[in-house]
Amino acid sequence: MISVGIVGSGAMGSGIAQVAATAGHNVLIYDNNPDALERSRKRLAKIMDRLVVKERITKEESTAIQGRIQYVDSLYKMAEVGLVVEAIVEKLEVKKALFEQLEDVLSENAILATNTSSLAVTAIAAACQKPDRVLGLHFFNPAPLMALVEVVPAVQTDIKVAEECFELMKKWGKVPVMAKDTPGFIVNRVARPFYSEALRVYEEGIADLATIDWVMTELGGFRMGPFTLMDYIGHDVNYKVTETVFAAFYFDPRYKPSFTQQRLVDAGYLGRKSGRGFYNYEEASVQPEPTKDAAKGKAILHRILVMLINEAADALYLNVASLDAIDLAMTKGVNYPKGLLAWADELTIPYVVEQLDALYHEYHEDRYRCSPVLRRLARDGGKFYEV
Ligand SMILES: NC(=O)c1ccc[n+]([C@@H]2O[C@H](COP(=O)([O-])OP(=O)(O)OC[C@H]3O[C@@H](n4cnc5c(N)ncnc54)[C@H](O)[C@@H]3O)[C@@H](O)[C@H]2O)c1
């Protein structure tokens, strides 16, 4: 079994190290900040203790897992590893410099993976002499709990390397999906309307925050409403992803960020972590109550849902991933109650197209344009999942 190197011992690196060590690999983890490395070690010990108390693992397993992780003070100690997963700061120049350095340290056959959420894997691979062994392995937070891993070959990647990593992720107990190296891969692209259309409905004054959150959880079956979720993720982080995806798509209006969210960032109302976002989290603050109108609720749910379906359909249309991969990505990566394309079949394709066209006619905005794949299916009487 190969040894695995992890660079960056923050939230993601620590989680991925835990996953690899649990799968039986010897892991070497490095961070250029020694305090971060120490925090990572302590955090893992705490998590392991909790898992023992909950009887998910035995004391012996906990000791063995922790024993397989070595916290190293230099990248040069990684010379023998077969795979490195990079989880450092999300800056292209810093990642490129690291990959260049890693190539000097590692053996010729070692695989180099990046956990980037928003940068082009191809641009990172371009920093290497042997870019055919570089790819994206995009884990979700927290890595030990979220099953999905997007496997993202760069333009230069040898497809055998991607397939090998795909199989390895299964051995790690993950659900891998192949995704093309396009902005946001699958999840961070397809999920955009969950936030942006909810924000639009709110900005137009169609419903208040609590009502939209109620609609999406109670009527839609989503685990969290969009505003609660944005508060949870943090507006600095969530807004930045939207902004990056918007720019990466050459400012396609479909991905346009919202002033409402930008203002929260300006105000320092970052969400739960700052005590205030859309909602107030300070002690004794009274939470707003939703208006539980089922008919109005259904209209809001379907508006957001058809926009999500449209994005999923377009990702399929542009070969970002396969039908199964897109549905799996949203159920396993962000816990959607159903795959969006299966949901489209359930609502019926003509209904989805009709709803999108009604929005387009109302606003004459490009963001409401219907994906050609939906229009063709509607015309031909087809479905995504033909039985
Ligand atoms: N947090 C998430 O939800 C999430 C999900 C998926 C992917 N990602 C991606 O994973 C990566 C890491 O994110 P995170 O949330 O764990 O960040 P983080 O800030 O928690 O951790 C990053 C760590 O990298 C270290 N670091 C920075 N530059 C370094 C360098 N040159 N060499 C070695 N170590 C260095 C920092 O000291 C820090 O400990 C980013 O690319 C991010 O986009 C994050």
Q: How many CB atoms lie within 10 A of CB 76?
A: 11
CA of 159 to the centre of ligand 1 (A): 26
What is the CA(17)–ligand 1 centre distance, in A?
13
Output the six-digit token pair for 350.
């003509």
- Strand pairing category for 134-139 and 148-153: antiparallel
Write out the two tokens for 210: 């609590």
Confirm or reject: Cβ of 152 under 6 Å from ligand 1.
Answer: no
Tell me, in angstroms, the distance from the centre of ligand 1 to residue 283's CA: 31
Q: Using the mean position of ligand 1's atoms as its centre, give its distance from the Cα of residue 155 in Å.
A: 24
Structure tokens at 216: 């999406």
138 is an active site residue: yes
- Average pLDDT of the residues in 26-46: 97
Instruction: For the chain, give the percent of residues with pLDDT over 70.
Output: 100
Contact 17, 6 (CB under 8 A): yes
Q: Is the CB of 13 under 6 A from ligand 1?
A: yes
Task: For ligand 1, say whether the CB of 91 is within 6 Å of any of its atoms.
Answer: no
Return d(Cα 155, Cα 150) in angstroms, integer.
16
Q: Mean pLDDT across the stretch 181-209?
A: 97
Q: Say if strands 134-139 and 4-7 run parallel, antiparallel, or are unpaired.
A: unpaired
pLDDT higher than threshold 90 for residue 25: yes
- Name, in order, each residue with C-beta under 8 angstroms of 215's C-beta and a sequence gap of 6 or more: 207, 225, 290, 297, 300, 301
Q: Give all strands (DSSP E) within the chain, no chain letters.
A: 4-7, 27-30, 69-72, 83-86, 111-114, 134-139, 148-153, 175-178
pLDDT of residue 206: 97
Say which DSSP state 219 is in.
I
Residues 319-341 pLDDT 10s: 999 999 999 999 999 999 999 99
Q: How far is CA 174 from CA 139, 244, 263, 294, in A?
A: 9, 27, 38, 38
Q: In this structure, what token pair is assigned to residue 288? A: 């707003």
The catalytic residue among 3, 62, 117, 258 is 117
Residue with tokens 């991925």: 16
Handedness of CA 335, 341, 344, 345 (dihedral sign): negative
Contacts of 270 (CB under 8 A, 6+ apart): 234, 235, 236, 264, 277
The residue-averaged pLDDT of 296-322 equals 98
Q: Is 109 a catalytic residue?
A: no
Cα separation of 252 and 239, whole Å?
16
Taking 90 as the threshold, does the pLDDT of residue 64 lie above it?
yes
CA 161 to chain centre: 22
- Please indicate whether residue 117 is annotated as part of the active site: yes
CA 40/CA 87 separation, integer angstroms: 13
Residue 41: pLDDT band by 50, 70, 90 thresholds? very high
Place of tokens 């120049």: 93
Q: How far apart are CA 336 and CA 262, in angstroms?
A: 26
pLDDT digits (tens, 9 = 90+) for 224-274: 999 999 999 999 989 998 999 999 999 999 999 999 999 999 999 999 999
Contact between 312 and 340 under an 8 Å Cβ cutoff? The reply is yes
CA-nearest residue, atom 26 of ligand 1: 88
Residue closest to 169 by CA, chosen among 44, 48, 333: 333
Q: Residue 192 in contact with residue 312, Cβ under 8 Å?
A: no
| Cβ(290)–Cβ(211) below 8 Å | yes
Q: Would you state the pLDDT for residue 190? A: 97
State which amino acid sits at residue 385: Y
The closest residue, in CA terms, to atom 39 on ligand 1 is: 10
- Cβ pair 71, 40 in contact under 8 A: yes
Query: Is the Cβ atom of 242 under 6 angstroms away from ligand 1?
Result: no
Cis, peptide link before residue 142, omega less than 30° from 0: yes
* CA–CA separation, 29 and 16 (whole Å): 10
Whether the per-residue pLDDT at 289 is higher than 80: the answer is yes
> Cα–Cα distance between 365 and 372 in angstroms, integer?
16
Task: Tell me what the mean pLDDT of segment 137-156 comes to.
Answer: 96
Q: 140 C-alpha to center of ligand 1: Å?
A: 12
User: Is the pLDDT score of 283 beyond 90?
Assistant: no
Q: Is the CB of 94 under 6 A from ligand 1?
A: yes
Q: In one letter, which amino acid is 220?
A: G
Q: Which atom of ligand 1 is nearest to the CA of 12?
A: 16
What is the rounded average pLDDT for all residues in the chain? 96
How many other C-beta atoms lie within 10 A of the C-beta of residue 2?
A: 15
Q: Which of 25, 138, 235, 302 is catalytic?
A: 138
